[in-house]
Structure 1
Amino acid sequence: MSSAIKIKTHRELLDSRQPGHGMPGELFGRQDVFETDVEVFFHKLWILVGVTADVPEPGDVHTVDIGKASIIIVRDDDENIRAYRNVCRHRGSRIMKKAGKATVGMLVCPYHQWTYDLDGSLRHSSHMGKDFDPGCHSLIPVHLKTVGAHVFVCLADEPPEDFSKLETVMAPRFAPYDLTRTKVAHELEIVENGNWKLVMENNRECYHCAGTHPELVNSFQAEDFGFCPDGQGEDALNAYNDYVKRNAATQEAWEKDGWICERFESVDESVHTNFRTQRLVIAGANESQTMDTQVACTKLLGNVSRRDLGDVHMWGHHSWTHVMSDHAVIAYVVPLAPDKTLVRTVWLVHEDAVEGVDYDLQKLTEVWNATTNQDAELVANAHSGTQDPAYRPGPFSQFTEAPLDEFSRWYDARLKQSGV
């Protein structure tokens, strides 16, 4: 007589995670978990969906699909960036039929040609009769905020109020770079064969970097990957102490000149808007994440006049940003399936920079092009392993992977608040 195999609930899986260890494999592979993740982490929280340079001119549109939802980002005739649900107010047809960029005069539904101004108002709808009120059928707006070049939206009726903390912390850090005066020099979209949480776990630690990212490690100091003093010899301990002193001296000099360096974290279980930031010293010339650590673009961002400003990081629950004196790299993930995640990476340079004159595209992009492709392979391999019946979550390194345990606790808390 066979006995039925009991399938654990989502909550039972979450509760089974041992503190300081990875998540159970079912949390990466199950369809029901994936659908809940999309609803909680991408439909209820603030999410990054693009950059201001995606819609540089009035009439420019950038359409983003998130699960069953689709969003139109548009710059209107008054230069304002707006967001709407990509749903016609007539019979629900998609107005923009596919994700990506376009330029339009007005937003026209391809089904019955209902036509909307860039401010969302309905301007044309034929044969609807004299009692029809077009003012009641404008496009459905989406909550939108811009921070630097980042375009954030929230699909919830009532968005989390603690996003204001991110605005307050990040606005002065981004201000000198004037990121709204940038253009997209390059963009890369990769579908990684892994769960979105594994993509983010991979991004939140550099335990793996020394052995897998030869291009990226050029701009890091070896100790940036984490350091466990246990069992280290005197030379290694002295080198680490020198590293700490060197970083402290560089940051002290930056702060004396008015550059914000302080590490700031809002990552615990109580917050909805999960982010952290700091200014990191870049190895070598301390200028840019390039193979020679020197700027790739000689026309610096904003009103910046010096090159050696390190790297201003911002990590979110599904995104990461690096801002240097000469360019910015902004990336975010969109979950497609339990084992499929879209990763979009954008390289921004000064809006007046000229390719071949002010910057060399290969030098600008080679580090993160290589790193992103390498990460895709790492994530696919990790996802495959977590679906093996033999998989048992192992312990995180407290010296190199503490952010992963923080992320796991935050993930659990947000689901618990949502009733999972």
Structure 2
Amino acid sequence: MFDLVSQLTHRKKGHTLEAPFYLDPDVFAADMEIIFGQHWLFVGVDVDVPEPGDVMMVKIGETEIAIVRDDDGEIRAFHNVCRHRGARLVHEEKTTVGNLVCRYHSWVYNLNGELIHAEHMGENFDKSCHGLKPVHVRSLEGLLFICLAENPPQDFDEMERQMAPYLAPHNLREAKIAYQHDLIEEGNWKLTMENNRECYHCGANHPELTVPLFAYGFGFDPKELEPHEREHAENYACMLNDNHAEWEAQGLPSKEIDRLDDMVTSFRTERLPLAGAGESHTMDTKRACKKLMGSMTNAKAGALHFWTQPNSWHHFMGDHAVVFSVLPIDAERSVLRTKWLVHKDAQEGIDYDLENLIGVWMATNQQDGELVGYCQQGVRGKGYVPGPYSPHTEMLVEKCTNWYVGRMLAHLAKTRAVA
């Protein structure tokens, strides 16, 4: 029998996890309870619900959350469960309502989650005791996070304090979603996240993504470089320092912040230069949208990346942003949800060509989905044993895996202490 606590405690540093962490339904259930049930999760953007009455439904495992903008313009979140007999309330991913009405017995809730109408419940029935169950929700400069725990991690405030200046110039609240794509990856959510946290695989697998990205921005073994490669790496390091100084002088915070393994609400950010024209994640490396985002005045401002544990990564450029969330389905499948955002006044066909806007990441996501599937197939076999991370190109994978192990053990230790 798989002993979760023992396996976590004796996990071999610098290596992938044992196979059951990617396969076992019981481990997946623990992940959903501890990681996805106790931490802040990225689920969308403010402009997913741009107007009062707009609703977005998000599914995390078997839990559905309705995110609404109320009549005062505030964003709220509730469990998507009627308080009568448990029917789901919202059936579409997105809709617009006056009130939330259960189709089963027509119980009606306002956008604050209060039960305002329930027929035939008797004169002693107290509607105030049967409002929708709220879920914690926070907006970080237009990025929406929810927490399913009764008491969410308090260090979200610290992440917000550090990240808000980085994100503010892109002003996601004044953007719109140009396109959304959901890809079901045939792999455990941790494999999807591990794949994202390194670019060791990029050169051999991402011909589109490596057009705008510099290879030396994602780690390398200096001892393996040829003289001309070493020169290129040194030039990149100088360019990075120069760009950071230039961008920060323009009011664009750019320097690395790495809190991947020393916070409960862990994150990482840095603004990185882009190759070629240096403007965007496109095949010609030029801006995809004529209208720049927020207060951005320079299209050649690199790409700000922002990662959060356990389920997101994002890229913010002068002309558009791409945000990603990983939503587990079961032990061996996950949804990768990608949204491309442009300035709210940008018009498709005039200010941007949609295929050009989404082309690099549509191709990259498909390629990564295949790679995650290969890993999932491999860990099912008897030949799988935990393999070593590269200390030069997968050091951030190790930090994220170490965060996962630490958060699991902390919760399990607390649970045992209470018991």
Q: Does 1:310 align with 2:302?
A: yes
Match of 2:47 among 53, 65, 79: 53
2:335 aligned counterpart, secondary structure: strand
1:194 aligned counterpart, secondary structure: coil
Using the TM superposition, give the Cα deviation of residue 86 of structure 1 relative to its aligned residue in structure 2, in angstroms. Answer: 0.9
Please name the residue that 1:280 is paired with: 272
2:173 aligned counterpart, secondary structure: coil
- How big is each residue's C-alpha offset from its partner over 1:360-400, in whole Å with a ceiling of 9 and x where there is no partner? 00110000000001110000001111111011122111110
Matching of residues 154-169 of structure 1 within 5 Å? 154-169=147-162
- Distance change (3 Å), C-alpha of 1:154 and 1:231: closer
Using the TM superposition, give the Cα deviation of residue 222 of structure 1 relative to its aligned residue in structure 2, in angstroms. Answer: 2.3
Match of 1:127 among 120, 123, 138: 120
- Distance change (3 Å), C-alpha of 1:85 and 1:231: closer
For residue 309 of structure 1, what is the amino acid of its counterpart?
A
Please name the residue that 1:408 is paired with: 401
CA distance in 2, matches of 1:201, 1:85: 29
Return 54-63 or 323-332, whichever deviates more. 54-63
For residue 207 of structure 2, what is the amino acid of its counterpart?
P
Return 35-44 or 220-229, whichever deviates more. 220-229
> Could you list the runs of 5+ residues in structure 2 that have no partner in the other structure?
414-419
The answer on whether the counterparts of 1:28 and 1:386 sit within 8 Å (CA) in structure 2 is yes
1:349 aligned counterpart, secondary structure: strand
Using the TM superposition, give the Cα deviation of residue 301 of structure 1 relative to its aligned residue in structure 2, in angstroms. Answer: 0.7
Using the TM superposition, give the Cα deviation of residue 26 of structure 1 relative to its aligned residue in structure 2, in angstroms. Answer: 1.5
Match of 1:34 among 20, 28, 34: 28
Match of 2:133 among 137, 140, 156: 140
The answer on whether the counterparts of 1:162 and 1:271 sit within 8 Å (CA) in structure 2 is yes
Matching of residues 11-410 of structure 1 within 5 Å? 11-98=5-92, 100-268=93-261, 270-317=262-309, 318-410=311-403
CA distance in 2, matches of 1:265, 1:234: 30
The answer on whether the counterparts of 1:95 and 1:108 sit within 8 Å (CA) in structure 2 is yes
CA distance in 2, matches of 1:62, 1:411: 28
Please name the residue that 2:416 is paired with: none
The answer on whether the counterparts of 2:47 and 2:175 sit within 8 Å (CA) in structure 1 is yes
- How big is each residue's C-alpha offset from its partner over 1:173-203, in whole Å with a ceiling of 9 and x where there is no partner? 1111111111110000011000000000000
CA distance in 1, matches of 2:208, 2:131: 49
For residue 90 of structure 2, what is the amino acid of its counterpart?
M
Return 17-26 or 289-298, whichever deviates more. 17-26
- How big is each residue's C-alpha offset from its partner over 1:210-244, in whole Å with a ceiling of 9 and x where there is no partner? 11011100111121232211143322222211111
Using the TM superposition, give the Cα deviation of residue 12 of structure 1 relative to its aligned residue in structure 2, in angstroms. Answer: 2.6
Using the TM superposition, give the Cα deviation of residue 79 of structure 1 relative to its aligned residue in structure 2, in angstroms. Answer: 1.4
- How big is each residue's C-alpha offset from its partner over 1:94-121, in whole Å with a ceiling of 9 and x where there is no partner? 11135x1111111001111000111111
The answer on whether the counterparts of 1:13 and 1:26 sit within 8 Å (CA) in structure 2 is no
Using the TM superposition, give the Cα deviation of residue 303 of structure 1 relative to its aligned residue in structure 2, in angstroms. Answer: 2.1
The answer on whether the counterparts of 2:217 and 2:272 sit within 8 Å (CA) in structure 1 is no
2:211 aligned counterpart, secondary structure: helix
2:128 aligned counterpart, secondary structure: helix
CA distance in 1, matches of 2:335, 2:69: 24
The answer on whether the counterparts of 1:282 and 1:311 sit within 8 Å (CA) in structure 2 is yes
1:189 aligned counterpart, secondary structure: strand
For residue 291 of structure 1, what is the amino acid of its counterpart?
M
CA distance in 2, matches of 1:8, 1:108: 44
The answer on whether the counterparts of 1:13 and 1:27 sit within 8 Å (CA) in structure 2 is no
Using the TM superposition, give the Cα deviation of residue 16 of structure 1 relative to its aligned residue in structure 2, in angstroms. Answer: 4.1
1:94 aligned counterpart, secondary structure: coil
The answer on whether the counterparts of 2:46 and 2:142 sit within 8 Å (CA) in structure 1 is yes
Q: Does 1:8 align with 2:30?
A: no
CA distance in 2, matches of 1:44, 1:235: 48
2:172 aligned counterpart, secondary structure: coil
For residue 219 of structure 1, what is the amino acid of its counterpart?
P
CA distance in 1, matches of 2:291, 2:91: 37
1:224 aligned counterpart, secondary structure: helix
- How big is each residue's C-alpha offset from its partner over 1:122-148, in whole Å with a ceiling of 9 and x where there is no partner? 111112222222222221111110012
2:166 aligned counterpart, secondary structure: helix
For residue 160 of structure 1, what is the amino acid of its counterpart?
P
Return 135-144 or 313-322, whichever deviates more. 135-144
The answer on whether the counterparts of 2:8 and 2:409 sit within 8 Å (CA) in structure 1 is no
- The aligned length equals 412
CA distance in 2, matches of 1:337, 1:139: 26
Please name the residue that 1:3 is paired with: none
For residue 351 of structure 2, what is the amino acid of its counterpart?
D
For residue 50 of structure 2, what is the amino acid of its counterpart?
P
Identical-pair percentage: 45
CA distance in 2, matches of 1:20, 1:296: 39
TM (norm. structure 1) is: 0.96
